[in-house]
Amino acid sequence: MPGFWKRFYLWQAAWLLASATVLLLVFNLTPLDLHLADVWYDPLRGYWPMRDAWWAAVLVHRWMKLALILAAFACIVMAWRRRKSADALGWRLVATSSVLVPLAVSVGKRASAMHCPWEIDRYGGSSPYFDLFSAAPASLASAGHCFPAAFVTSASWLLAFALFDYPWHPRASWRAGLLALALSLAFGWVQQMRGAHFLSHTLWSLWLSWTIIVGLHAVLGLWRRPLPESLPAAQAASRIEPAARSAL
C-alpha cells in the first residue's frame, strides 16, 4: 500500500477514535440531549408541535427520503454501467455505501433498547430515559429500537462521494463531503424537531456512516489507483521506480 494511503487510513482511524471519545463524554456525562430536545417540546400542551408538520413529516421524511432512495438506486445502476471504466471503483464505493450504510445502522437500531424522545416520560411518553452507557431500567416494558438514527442514513451514504475522486480533485471532494454532511445534519435536525431522535442519535449515525465508508474504501481497494502526479508521494515514487529499474 502506498505511504499516502497508509497515512490517510491512520489519520482516519485516529480521527474516528477521537470523535467517538468526544461523543461518549459529551452525551453520557452531560444532559445536552435533553436540553436540546426541550426546545422543541411544548410541555403546556404535552406534544411536539413539529411532529406532524407537513413540511417535516411529509416533504422531508417521506418525499425527500424517497428521492434519495431513487438516487441510491441510480448510483447502483451507474456502478454497473461504469464497471469497466476508469472511475469504476469510485462508483462501486458509492453504490456499496448506499446499501451497507443504511443496512448497518438499521441493524444497530434493531439491537438498541433506547427509546425515541416522543416515547420518553419526560415528553409525555411512558418509557424512562437512559443513555448509551446506562443499563436499561428494570421498569422498561419493551426495547425502543431508536438508536442510532436510521433516517439520517437516507443522506449520509452520500458521504462516499467525498472519496469518489480523492485525492485527484481535493476541492471537489471537500465540497461533496460538506454538502452530504449538511444534508445529513439537516435530516437529523428535522427529526429532532419532531421528537423522533436526539442529537446524539444523529451524530452517532454519521460516525458509523463514515466508519463504514472508510472501511469500504480500503476493502474495495481504491488505494490501488495511481496517485496524481501533483502529490509528493507520487513524485517520489516516480523517481524511485526508474532508479530501481536502472539498478537491476
pLDDT tens track for 187-197 = 999 999 999 99
Look up the pTM and report it: 0.90
**Residue 1 near residue 222 (C-beta atoms within 8 A):** no
Q: What is the mean pLDDT of residues 137-146?
A: 79
- Residues 22-58: tens digit of each pLDDT: 999 999 999 999 999 999 999 999 999 999 999 999 9
